């Protein structure tokens, strides 16, 4: 983790939705092997930034670089294959498929051209081996034959991460993975995130819960109304006057 090579960089990222500037000239850089935090109040533009990084949205201006290459406006499936995985704020597994089938679909995208082919061929040994490893890693192995819809929220969040891990990413984007979880679910998920990071995975987290950010991240960027207002260690940003005013409120002042 002493490695300071840049893995993902955004330059001047701007996103206009009609008259609303959801992002306004955001610069950021994530180092290989770090857990980088993005915080900010509701509507600050955090998810919009994830959507731009993962190709769901095109920026109105600005560029995204992954491992030094310009990937701006690449399609989501291409970015997933390149090594950028993500989760969504609202969990969205295939609800009637089992846990194992959900991960199989995500794994299969690398091997086969489309989802229909995946369904016919996912019994391929290589895929099954990889799925087993991912399910064990994420603590989902014993639930592998359950429909995804029957999992408690904490495990649905794990399933989102399992799906993001399917294509062997070098970075994953976690969009509020901890929200709505119980204390014990939070602790377990933190353990998983730290373990994945210790194995070399770079991670960007969007997170509202500052104690979690402080435990996971060494560096944090704060955005408000689409603009970066602070960047630094979690301790530095929670003591930053502009951040206190914009986001954290009296609790941290
Ligand atoms: N597709 C869209 N069309 C129009 N406006 C949008 C769209 N997506 C997001 N916005 C607006 O852009 C702004 C930023 O939204 P975004 O979801 O990125 O914020 P956020 O920081 O992730 O908020 P939260 O913490 O509530 O999830 C908000 O004002 C939102 O209403």
- Within 13 Å of residue 105, how many CA atoms lie on the same side as its CB? 16
**C-alpha–C-alpha distance, residues 209 and 247, integer Å:** 12
| 197, part of any domain | no
Tokens 């359950």 appear where?
146
The CB of 33 under 6 Å from ligand 1? The reply is no
Among 43, 205, 227, which is best to mutate for testing ligand 1, by the most ligand atoms less than 8 A from CB?
Answer: 43
Closest CA to ligand 1's atom 18: 45
| Rounded CA Rg of the chain | 18
Ligand 1 center to residue 230 CA distance, Å? 20
| 194, part of any domain | no
| 8, part of any domain | yes
Ligand 1 center to residue 77 CA distance, Å? 22
Closest CA to ligand 1's atom 25: 42
pLDDT tier, 210 (very low <50, low <70, confident <90, very high otherwise): confident
**C-alpha–C-alpha distance, residues 164 and 134, integer Å:** 10
Residue 247 phi, psi (nearest 5):
-135, -50
- Reply yes or no on whether the pLDDT at 121 is more than 70: no
- Residue 1: what pLDDT? 45
The CB of 31 under 6 Å from ligand 1? The reply is no
- Among residues 159, 131, 132, 129, the alpha carbon closest in space to that of 147 is found at 159
Report the interhelical angle of 183-198 vs 153-165 (nearest 10°): 10
Does residue 178 share a domain with residue 70? Answer: yes
The CB of 48 under 6 Å from ligand 1? The reply is yes
What is the position in ligand 1's atom list of the atom closest to the CA of 208?
25
Q: What is the mean pLDDT of residues 74-99?
A: 84
Does residue 98 share a domain with residue 68? Answer: no
**C-alpha–C-alpha distance, residues 59 and 226, integer Å:** 13
| 65, part of any domain | yes
| 241, part of any domain | yes
Tens-digit pLDDT profile for residues 43-85: 999 999 999 999 999 999 999 999 999 999 899 888 988 999 9
**C-alpha–C-alpha distance, residues 217 and 204, integer Å:** 9
CATH code, 62:
3.40.50.300
Ligand 1 center to residue 227 CA distance, Å? 13
The CB of 152 under 6 Å from ligand 1? The reply is no
Does residue 65 share a domain with residue 177? Answer: yes
Tens-digit pLDDT profile for residues 123-174: 667 778 888 999 999 999 999 999 999 999 999 999 999 999 988 999 999 9
Does residue 85 share a domain with residue 71? Answer: yes
Tens-digit pLDDT profile for residues 9-28: 999 999 999 999 999 999 99
- Among residues 249, 78, 250, the alpha carbon closest in space to that of 167 is found at 78
- Residue 129: what pLDDT? 85
Among 44, 225, 247, which is best to mutate for testing ligand 1, by the most ligand atoms less than 8 A from CB?
Answer: 44
Does residue 136 share a domain with residue 75? Answer: no
**C-alpha–C-alpha distance, residues 26 and 10, integer Å:** 7
The CB of 40 under 6 Å from ligand 1? The reply is yes
Does residue 105 share a domain with residue 84? Answer: no
The CB of 17 under 6 Å from ligand 1? The reply is yes
The CB of 55 under 6 Å from ligand 1? The reply is no
Does residue 25 share a domain with residue 124? Answer: no
Does residue 85 share a domain with residue 27? Answer: yes
- Among residues 131, 214, 95, the alpha carbon closest in space to that of 140 is found at 131
- Reply yes or no on whether the pLDDT at 112 is more than 50: no
| 143, part of any domain | yes
Q: How many domains does the chain have?
A: 2
Does residue 18 share a domain with residue 6? Answer: yes
Does residue 179 share a domain with residue 80? Answer: yes
Q: What is the domain extent for residue 95? A: 91-166
Length of the chain in terms of residues written: 253
Model pTM?
0.90
Vertex 34, ends 180 and 38: CA angle to 5°? 45
Cα–Cα distance list, 128 to 56, 101, 135, 140 (Å):
29, 10, 10, 14
Does residue 243 share a domain with residue 128? Answer: no
Does residue 177 share a domain with residue 82? Answer: yes
- Residue 2: what pLDDT? 47
Which of the 8 DSSP states describes residue 148?
A: G
């Amino acid at each position: 983790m002493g490695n300071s090579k840049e893995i993902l960089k955004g330059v001047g990222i701007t996103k206009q939705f009609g008259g609303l500037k959801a992002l306004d000239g955001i610069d950021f850089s994530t180092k290989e092997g770090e857990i980088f935090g993005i915080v900010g109040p509701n509507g600050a533009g955090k998810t919009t930034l994830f959507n731009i990084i993962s190709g769901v949205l095109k920026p109105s201006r600005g560029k995204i670089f992954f491992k030094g290459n310009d990937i701006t406006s690449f399609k989501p499936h291409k970015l997933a294959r390149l090594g950028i995985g993500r989760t969504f704020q609202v969990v969205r597994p295939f609800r009637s498929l089992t846990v194992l089938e959900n991960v199989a679909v995500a794994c299969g995208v690398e091997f086969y051209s489309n989802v229909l082919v995946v369904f016919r061929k996912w019994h391929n040994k290589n895929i099954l081996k990889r799925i087993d490893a991912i399910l064990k890693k994420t603590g989902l192995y014993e639930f592998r034959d359950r429909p995804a819809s029957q999992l408690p929220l904490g495990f649905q969040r794990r399933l989102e991460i399992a799906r993001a891990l399917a294509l062997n990413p070098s970075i994953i984007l976690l969009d509020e993975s901890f929200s709505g979880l119980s204390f014990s679910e939070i602790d377990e998920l933190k353990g998983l995130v730290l373990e994945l990071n210790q194995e070399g995975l770079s991670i960007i987290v969007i997170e509202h819960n500052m104690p979690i950010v402080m435990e996971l991240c060494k560096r944090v960027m704060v955005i408000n109304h689409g603009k970066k207002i602070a960047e630094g260690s979690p301790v530095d940003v929670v003591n930053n006057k502009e951040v206190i005013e914009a986001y954290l409120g009296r609790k941290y002042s």
